[in-house]
Amino acid sequence: MLASLKGKSVIVTGGSQGIGLGISLAFARAGAFVTIAARGEEAGANAVEEIALAGGAGQFLQCDVTQWQAVKAIVDETANENGLDIICANAGIFPKQTIEEMEPEQWDHVLDTNLRSSFYCVKAALPHMKEAGQGRIILTSSITGPITGDAGWSHYAASKAGQLGFMRTAALELAPHKITVNSVLPGNIRTEALDDLGDAYLKKMGQTIPLGRLGAPQDVASAVLFLASEEAGYITGQQIVVDGGQVLPEGLEAPD
């Protein structure tokens, strides 16, 4: 049994749907106060309602994570009003585009949303966590990039591998302040964005997963909550793969 997260203040970027919503609900059920940061107000309001229905407490703050001033503003507001114990840099996008057809602006947009935003979250949280003498930072990376390649996602893979390079150095810089920086690497998790890739994709990927199913946001949330826990206080600069064994097979055939 892990120590309680009751009363902790957590920011989850991209917490309005998909994996981020799963993370937000898990923290809320554990008694934390959850600040959801994303662009869409309607989805954000719905997510806060879901948190309330689950018996938790939270708020939505509108934020585009590609904008430094916007990230700094919501982190400062949260920290000043509720304190800041944990930040989950989770917001991300994965539009499919081959290198041959990709425009430089499309590359930049994915790198800005997925990687630059991680730097912004850590930089904005640092002064508050440093002052508090503790903190937990968890990045949502992916198996794609750090472990695997996937045709059509070169920009995405680069951003997700980049998050891990950034994480290792951030972990070293922040360790003297008792702030840990870790990552989760999801495999294929059923979210709105994954559903957009179509039924054929979902079926094909599901067949390659040794544990026999696509992941659920809650699967990722469980690993995030562990990394945010008091018990994970001696773990930093590390990654947890949450993929049902997806990266284990040596061949292309679906496992028996």
Binding to ligand NAP by residue 191, rule CB under 6 A? yes
**Which residue in 183, 95, 94 sits closest to 140, CA to CA?**
183
User: What token pair was written down for 254?
Assistant: 């679906």
Using alpha carbons only, give the angle 9, 16, 179 rounded to the nearest 5 degrees: 35
Q: Which is nearer to ligand NAP, 50 or 64 (CB)?
A: 64
From candidates 48, 194, 228, 232, binder to ligand NAP by CB under 6 A: 194
Strand order in the sheet with 57-62: 57-62, 33-38, 9-13, 86-89, 135-140, 179-186, 239-242
Instruction: With contacts defined by CB under 6 A, name the span among 78-86, 126-134, 166-174, 191-199 that binds ligand NAP.
Output: 191-199
Pick the binder of ligand NAP from 57, 93, 161, 247 (CB under 6 A): 93
Cα 248 to Cα 180: distance, rounded to the nearest angstrom:
28
CA–CA gap between residue 108 and residue 141 (Å, rounded): 17
Residue 177 Cβ, how far from ligand NAP at the closest point, in Å?
25
CB of 18 to ligand NAP, least distance (A): 2
Residues 128-167 as x/- pattern, contact with ligand NAP by CB under 6 A: ------------x-x-------------------------
Say if CB 205 and CB 4 are below 8 A apart: no
Minimum CB separation from ligand NAP for residue 193, in Å? 3
Residues 54, 102, 158, 193: which binds ligand NAP (CB under 6 A)? 193
Q: Tell me, yes or no, if 201 is annotated catalytic.
A: no
Size of the site for ligand NAP (CB under 6 A): 31
Residue type at position 12: V
Of the residues 120, 156, 201, 234, only one is catalytic, namely 156
121 contributes a contact to ligand NAP by CB under 6 A: no
Identify which of 85, 79, 86 has the alpha carbon closest to the alpha carbon of residue 138. Answer: 86
Provide the token pair at 192: 């709105």
Cβ–Cβ < 8 Å for 47, 17? yes
User: Which residue has tokens 């966590």?
Assistant: 129
Binding mask 50-79 for ligand NAP (x = CB under 6 A): -------------xxxx-------------
Q: With contact defined as beta carbons under 8 Å apart, do 28 and 57 qualify?
A: yes
- Contact flag: residue 242 with ligand NAP (CB under 6 A): no
CA 103 to the chain's CA centroid: 26
Shortest reach from residue 112's CB to ligand NAP, in Å? 8
Determine, following the binding rule CB under 6 A, whether residue 118 of this chain makes contact with ligand NAP.
Answer: no
17 touches 192 (CB < 8 A): yes
Least separation in angstroms between CB 131 and ligand NAP:
25
Positions marked active-site: 156
Site residues (vs ligand NAP, CB under 6 A):
13-14, 16-20, 38-40, 43, 63-66, 90-94, 113-114, 140, 142, 186, 188-189, 191-194
